[in-house]
A and B are shown apart, each in its own frame.
Chain A
Amino acid sequence: MYAYDELDRTLINERVSEFRDQVKRRLSGELTEDEFKILRLQNGVYLQLHAYMFRVAIPYGTLSSKQLRRFAHVARRYDRGYGHFTTRQNIQFNWIKLAELPDALADLAEVGIHAMQTSGNNMRNVTSDQWAGVAPGEIEDPRIWSELIRQHTTLHPEFSFLPRKFKIAITASEHDRAAIKIHDIGLRLHKNADGETGFEVLVGGGLGRTPFIAKTIKPFVHGRDVLSYIEAILRVYNQYGRRDNIYKARIKILVHELGIEKFAKEVDEEWKQMGDSELRLDHAAIEEVRSRFSYPPYEKLPHMPDELKQAAHDPLFERWRKNSVAPHKVQGYSIVTLSLKPVGGPPGDATAEQMDALADLADKYSFGEIRVGHEQNLALPHVAKRDLPALFKALDRLGLATPNVNLVTDIIACPGLDYCSLANARSIPIAQELTRRFANHDTADLIGRLHINISGCINACGHHHVGHIGILGVEKNGEEFYQITIGGRADENAQMGTLIGPAVPYAEVADVIEDIVEAYLALRDRPEELFVDTVKRLGVEPFRERVYATR
């Protein structure tokens, strides 16, 4: 966990007072909506179909049990009893009243939670690997660097009025769980030949109506220079980025139009001009932030405790363990992913009761710590292996032990037309129907790793471009239709999916996905060949033929 200092607490509390005054002036008519909109967006407040939506930041996906309980409180007191975890380590409340928002913000501020950098054309919440600090083989904890960037960018005037929103993600593991290649800046922590810590810097990734995979502009930037290098990138973006057309304003468009070599050259020249600026991080500054992250007092525990050996006879436990439990860097401990994708449930939603109960379980089994991943699931990062059987039983009672992590029903979906004012089509009912079609866990296990991503419009909040199967809602003559892509992926080998053919109507989507999955099962050359690898080997044609031959 990261412990906020007095400066952070003061900043958050001042922000609440400021927003309370802004809301008061809006409700009295002193501020028009045009004047107020930018202010509410700077505090995570959107206006959606039915109500205001309040997006709250969970920096680098790390939460304490106290903070999770406070989310439950906000859901219960100010909303309708649930919250929605997003694809960028935020939580959204869908039914909140503007008049009560300052109180909700104040309640969150008491536990160090805020909504800065969750909306507007600024530097957004810096995201990272939800297994940061506990994943075996990690270079070092990427949250140290996420926090340094957060501190530098929060309310920084140069990053507060950018041409468009700007997203940074950081990973420190070989397997990229932070989807850095679909971010404006992706940072991959690694060590150079001299053993020094630094970053491979990628720029220009993003989805939406013009999707791009980020490209590397610098193979190694020393850790001490990461702030100045990011600032150099932002300066080039601020100088050349378009502000005349919202659809061409993201940095990915600038990188594409200038070309990666020219863009990299511009950044390097800017960076050289900055020289040894005050942005260079000295060792003490880095260590100060590092020291504010606390790690649990792990016990010396056996690799295979008796409790685990005994529980292995329970097939339900074993299925869940194989699916949801991952190795930890400390012997005797595990990382446990908690699926927020129950059969028939809205992906990423958690009720206030679940949040409260999960906070209790985090206290009992995970040193009071919870993580949030971009796949819209949660994790307990420090569970002793001996406690896994008891934890499984408790999670099962809460509906949080669905053994489908990374399987076909672990669907990522945006809120879609059921909530979102930008959406063209619904996402959640499609996801719900698919979870019912593939509800049989044996079938899901047989299919293996398969990520389905659903977006209700081209803005791509459900990351459909990089789903192994991507589903994009569009409108045709007032009806909901869905384009299907296959072969996308969001990891270290990120790539966009390929469209398989004409959009299909709402009622046929689940049938089409079943056809695609059946085709895969027939086409894969061995059970271990993943869906994306079969698509890579054979292309989309056999899948297209299967889907459209009879339609």
Chain B
Amino acid sequence: MTSPLEQKKIKITGPSVVTANRTWDGAVVYRTAQKGWSTELADSAVVSTSDDARALLAEANADDVGAVGPYIAPVELKDGGKVKPGNLREQIRAKGVTIDLQVPA
């Protein structure tokens, strides 16, 4: 997965969300329509145009205390409007590591 750290131009081709890491603990968070952050992807504000994505990202960037490194990530909308991560990187961020750990995660 190309790292979103290299994300320079904002151009989306499908439904997207803004995600980041929460400042105090680094947890994965998603920007909500209520201008806050949630650890649940289901709570995220889903945008479908580049202009809306740009606006959501700008709003997220303004909250430097709440979360670190916001970027736009693709999602898939399943039947019933359920939001799913759009690539493997985001699946791992949403669901955790894919490996067997020696200790409970």
Contact = CB atoms under 8 A, between A and B. Distances in A.
A367 interface: no
A263 to B, nearest CB: 31
A376 to B, nearest CB: 14
Nearest to B96: A50
Contacts of B87: 478
Interface stretch (A320-328, A329-337, A426-434): A426-434
B26 interface: yes
A32 interface: yes
Interface in B3-25: 3, 5, 21, 23-25
Nearest to B66: A29
Interface stretch (B30-38, B45-53, B97-105): B97-105
Nearest to A99: B24
Interface stretch (A185-193, A252-260, A268-276, A344-352): A344-352
B23 A349 contact: no
Contacts of A97: 24-26
A276 to B, nearest CB: 47
A33 interface: yes
A82 B100 contact: no
Given A26-B23, A98-B24, A478-B87, A346 B69 contact: no
B3 A429 contact: no
B37 to A, nearest CB: 14
Contacts of A51: 21, 25-27
A349 B99 CA distance: 12
B26 A98 contact: yes
Given A49-B89, A82-B103, A422 B27 contact: no
Contacts, number: 101
B68 A33 contact: yes
Interface residues of A, number: 43
A419 B93 CA distance: 9
A451 to B, nearest CB: 21
A418 B3 contact: no
A349 B102 contact: yes
A475 interface: yes
Interface string A77-101: 0001110000000000000111100
B28 interface: yes
Max chain B C-beta neighbours (<10 A), residue from A97, A417, A424, A425: A417
A424 B102 contact: no
B1 A49 contact: no
Contacts of B105: 80
B77 interface: no
Max chain B C-beta neighbours (<10 A), residue from A49, A52, A399: A49
Interface of A: 26-29, 32-33, 47-52, 80-82, 96-99, 342, 344-346, 349, 351-352, 399, 417-419, 421-426, 428-429, 432, 457, 475, 478, 480
Interface of B: 1-3, 5, 21, 23-28, 64-65, 68-69, 87-89, 92-93, 96-105
13 contacts: A27-B65, A28-B65, A49-B92, A49-B93, A51-B26, A82-B102, A97-B24, A417-B88, A418-B92, A418-B97, A419-B97, A429-B99, A478-B87
